[in-house]
């Protein structure tokens, strides 16, 4: 049995002890939609020629957004499109032992043409395992889905959920129906069956969704980027209030790139109102804040940075130091350098965030070989 | 010159020192739409017979929501519809010296028929001054507007903004366009000219708006109530990022019933991203968190109550103890009793929240007679 990052005969505990940094948000990319041709039935090939869903999902490129200047490989002009390049430029350079691939969200929940999106997701998932995960012990896959067709999406979870290279089911944060509602439960049931957490990552407000606020369209990328978290709050509240965690007590969510400074508001406001309204939700058996504490993890990038550094530590403690996961968000423009970020924290807290919490969220599969 | 609560010759400072509690969120109510008939041109009377805009705005009555059981006057079956009743039942009983009336929002920003809504708002504002404010020194008025017609709305601010009984321009939290955008600036210009803060209060998601989340419709009142705050976050972010406070340096916002536990997220996330994106918003001259600190107040009801009381104090300190305003939300079901709430805090902090901060936000007009 080989370890993920350095084959050998270590026990899981020994392998875990050797980890320095696990990165939970690495955006690898398709070199181009045509890359998926070998993975996709021919009836869908015409869609690839039109660029697939990726162009719609990239409709919010404002000044300042985009990728890091040094993340483009001059040899092929691609950004994070080649695993060897990412190994050199991210994994080795920043001493990362394991990375969870989050790709591009393609706003799959939010777009139309659900039959194509479902086929696209399967092709992408296969390509990713084939090209990135099986040949490279440092990478693990998130599988993507078109969750607006939950039956097909659940089938995809069953198709790949047992693959040792897959560690997460990943949903984009927007959609037409909140994540707590029962239409999504087949996906959660399948994820639980395979022991996979659900990751949620921001996505563009395109296609079937309205703006990412409930009060209209924003006027800048700075606003768009800050508004991401509100979709996460609404999804989190819906998941708790709709009773998802009574139905699926082992289900975990990893909220990626949504921040965590808002968690005290969600926990405090729900707990405050819950006693007066609990007859409305008689299926809940714990305080809302207990579901938040027991079922959610939060990634670090972009971490809220208040002016007063004591406030950052207080926020961390309110949310729980064991609930925070390191994420670099490579190769995006607001990349967090793993070697310099979080150094205001104690080595113990830093170790939790960079290794222990990630293992607690994603489980032992992270340490197993992918082939 | 008479004082608001007890006529005499005291200076403003002496009057302020005598205040025990100022309540910033008292929902008085129209006994019925027909009440406005004398205040409204006859061409609009047919609308009143259909109930006016109030019924649409009340479309979210779920189990547990609504008014306090003991707030209905058995003599007339009305709830907060009679000022004498509210004086007895709220003002005297809970030793409140001054109260800011917030009425019913009528979701004016969010409904159609803007000509009628504009006329309705003016009639309501006149009725309120006539029936509640001028005869009762303990009440001050918030004027309401249909902000989707900013020119007419600004005219209404000019029409009544100099009235000594008016202390606030009140907007419902939802609408089709975020509050930072320039269409609203005529309203802000008028408010600044009259030295009035803008209050924002949650409202129902009816009429022209979509759901109050960006991810679809919620399934319970518990969720609806908790989601209120997200609209406030988006509005706050928009106000900061669009440069409203560079154009109107003296403008203040009072965020009522939206909580404040989310403010560290907004401040921290904006400050974190701002340095990388500031060329997108070159008109800003301060850190985003500085605008938040300098221009926003937050009311207490419903205050987030984390399980760990130390977390509550930390949240209070992060937001700033001088930014919190006491609000009872009378006569709503989740009313905060002014005599028992906040008693975990020091007397100094409690005094700030119940009196000093309210005076800082609303100014001396609160202490002047209304006639």
For CA atoms B216, B222, B224, B227, give the dihedral sign: negative
Q: Is B61 on the interface with A (CB under 8 A)?
A: no
Which residue from B348, B268, B342 is spatially nearest to B305, judged by alpha carbons? B342
Chain A closest-CA separation from residue B192 CA (Å)? 23
- Across the strands, what pairs with A26? A101, A330
CB contact under 8 Å between A265 and B242, yes or no, is no
* Residue A214 CA, distance from chain mean position: 23
Q: For residue B265, what is the nearest residue in chain A, using CA coordinates? A: A261
pLDDT of residue A66: 59
DSSP string, A247-275: H-TT--EEE-SS-STTHHHHHHHHHHHHH
Which residue from B232, B326, B353, B236 is spatially nearest to B25, judged by alpha carbons? B326
The span from the first CA to the last CA of chain A, in angstroms, equals 10
| B291/A183 Cα distance (integer angstroms) | 41
| A233/A173 Cα distance (integer angstroms) | 10
pLDDT of residue B3: 35
Burial class (CB in 10 A: 0-12, 13-18, 19+), A42: exposed
Q: For residue B176, what is the nearest residue in chain A, using CA coordinates? A: A216
CB contact under 8 Å between B214 and A231, yes or no, is yes
DSSP state of A214: S
> Judged by CB atoms within 8 Å, which residues 226-265 of B form the interface with A?
226-227, 229-231, 233-235, 237-238, 241-242, 259-262, 264-265
Q: Average model confidence (pLDDT) for chain B?
A: 87
Q: Is B178 on the interface with A (CB under 8 A)?
A: yes
Mean of the pLDDT values across residues B195-212? 86
pLDDT of residue B52: 54
Tens of pLDDT, residue by residue over B220-242, are 888 988 999 999 999 999 999 99
B284 touches B243 (CB < 8 A)? yes
Q: Is B310 on the interface with A (CB under 8 A)?
A: no
Return the beta strands (E) in B194-308 as ranges.
198-201, 253-255, 296-299
Mean of the pLDDT values across residues B234-261? 97
Summary count for chain B: helices (H), strands (E): 14, 10
For CA atoms B236, B355, B197, B250, give the dihedral sign: negative
| A333/A205 Cα distance (integer angstroms) | 19
For CA atoms B223, B225, B229, B230, give the dihedral sign: positive
pLDDT of residue A52: 54
pLDDT of residue A67: 64
| B239/A223 Cα distance (integer angstroms) | 10
Tens of pLDDT, residue by residue over B72-128, are 777 777 778 899 999 999 999 999 999 999 987 677 887 778 888 899 899 999 999
Which residue from A276, A120, A182, A155 is spatially nearest to B216, judged by alpha carbons? A182
B142 touches B169 (CB < 8 A)? yes
Q: For residue B243, what is the nearest residue in chain A, using CA coordinates? A: A219
The interface pTM score, or ipTM, of the predicted complex is 0.85
> Which residues are CB-neighbours of A161 under 8 A, at least 6 positions away?
A143, A169, A190, A191, A193, A194, A196
pLDDT of residue A353: 96
pLDDT of residue A58: 37
The token pair that represents B75 in the structure block = 């003599």
Residues of A in contact with B185 (CB under 8 A): none
Q: For residue A172, what is the nearest residue in chain B, using CA coordinates? A: B215
pLDDT in single tens digits along all 371 residues of chain A: 333 445 467 888 899 999 999 999 998 888 777 888 899 999 888 777 755 554 333 333 333 345 666 777 777 777 788 999 999 999 999 999 999 999 876 778 877 788 888 998 999 999 999 999 999 999 999 999 999 999 999 999 999 999 999 999 999 998 889 999 999 999 999 999 999 999 999 987 776 777 889 898 888 888 988 999 999 999 999 999 999 999 999 999 999 999 999 999 999 999 999 998 888 899 999 999 999 999 999 999 888 877 788 888 889 999 999 999 999 999 887 888 888 888 788 999 999 999 999 999 999 999 999 99
For CA atoms B352, B354, B358, B359, give the dihedral sign: negative
- Collapsing DSSP to helix, strand or coil, B337 comes out as coil
Whether residue B243 is predicted with pLDDT greater than 70 in this model: the reply is: yes
Indicate the pLDDT class of residue B288, thresholds 50, 70 and 90.
very high
Q: How far is CA A162 from CA A6, A112, A143, A191, in A?
A: 22, 29, 12, 10
Tens of pLDDT, residue by residue over B34-64, are 888 899 999 888 777 755 554 333 333 333 3
Residues of B in contact with A289 (CB under 8 A): 306-307
Which residue from A51, A190, A45, A191 is spatially nearest to A123, judged by alpha carbons? A45
Tens of pLDDT, residue by residue over B320-367, are 999 999 999 998 878 888 888 887 889 999 999 999 999 999 999 999
Tens of pLDDT, residue by residue over B132-190, are 999 999 999 999 999 999 999 999 999 999 999 999 999 999 888 999 999 999 999 99
More confident of the two residues B273 and A210: B273
Which one of A230, A240, A283 would you mutate to disrupt binding with B, by most B Cβ within 10 Å of its Cβ?
A230
> Which residues are CB-neighbours of B348 under 8 A, at least 6 positions away?
none
> Which residues are CB-neighbours of B142 under 8 A, at least 6 positions away?
B100, B101, B102, B103, B166, B167, B168, B169, B170, B199
In chain B, the percentage of residues whose pLDDT exceeds 90 is 60
The token pair that represents A341 in the structure block = 């970020």
Mean of the pLDDT values across residues B242-251? 98
Whether residue B218 is predicted with pLDDT greater than 60 in this model: the reply is: yes
| A281/A304 Cα distance (integer angstroms) | 32
């Amino acid at each position: 049995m080989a370890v993920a990052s350095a084959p050998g005969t270590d026990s899981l505990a020994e392998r875990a002890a050797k980890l320095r940094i696990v990165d939970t948000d690495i955006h690898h990319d398709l070199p181009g939609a045509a890359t998926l041709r070998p993975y996709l039935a021919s009836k869908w090939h015409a869609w690839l020629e039109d660029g697939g869903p990726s162009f719609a999902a990239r409709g919010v490129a404002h000044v300042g957004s985009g990728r890091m200047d040094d993340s483009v490989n001059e040899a092929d002009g691609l950004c994070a499109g080649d695993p060897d390049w990412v190994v050199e430029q991210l994994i080795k350079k920043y001493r990362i032992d394991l990375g969870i691939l989050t790709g591009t969200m393609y706003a799959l929940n939010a777009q139309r043409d659900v039959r194509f999106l479902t086929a696209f997701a399967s092709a992408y998932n296969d390509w990713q395992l084939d090209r990135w995960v099986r040949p490279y012990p440092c990478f693990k896959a998130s599988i993507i889905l078109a969750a607006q067709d939950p039956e097909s999406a659940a089938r995809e979870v069953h198709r790949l959920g047992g693959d040792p290279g897959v560690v997460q089911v990943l949903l984009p944060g927007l959609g037409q129906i909140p994540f707590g509602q029962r239409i999504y439960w087949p996906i959660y049931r399948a994820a639980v069956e395979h022991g996979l957490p659900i990751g949620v990552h921001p996505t563009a407000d395109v296609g079937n969704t309205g703006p990412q606020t409930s009060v209209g369209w924003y006027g800048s990328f700075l606003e768009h980027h800050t508004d991401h978290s509100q979709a996460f709050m609404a999804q989190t509240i819906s998941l708790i209030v709709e009773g998802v965690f009574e139905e699926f007590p082992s289900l975990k969510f990893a909220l990626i790139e949504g921040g965590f400074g808002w968690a005290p508001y969600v926990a405090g406001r729900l707990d405050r109102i819950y006693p007066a309204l609990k007859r409305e939700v008689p299926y809940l058996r714990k305080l809302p804040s207990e579901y938040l504490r027991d079922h959610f993890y939060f990634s670090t990038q972009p971490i809220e940075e208040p002016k007063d550094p004591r406030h950052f530590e207080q926020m961390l403690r309110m949310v729980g130091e064991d609930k925070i996961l390191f994420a670099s968000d490579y190769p995006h423009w607001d990349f967090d350098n793993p070697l310099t970020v979080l150094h205001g924290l104690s080595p113990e807290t830093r170790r939790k965030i960079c290794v222990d919490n990630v293992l607690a969220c994603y489980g032992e599969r992270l340490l197993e070989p992918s082939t």
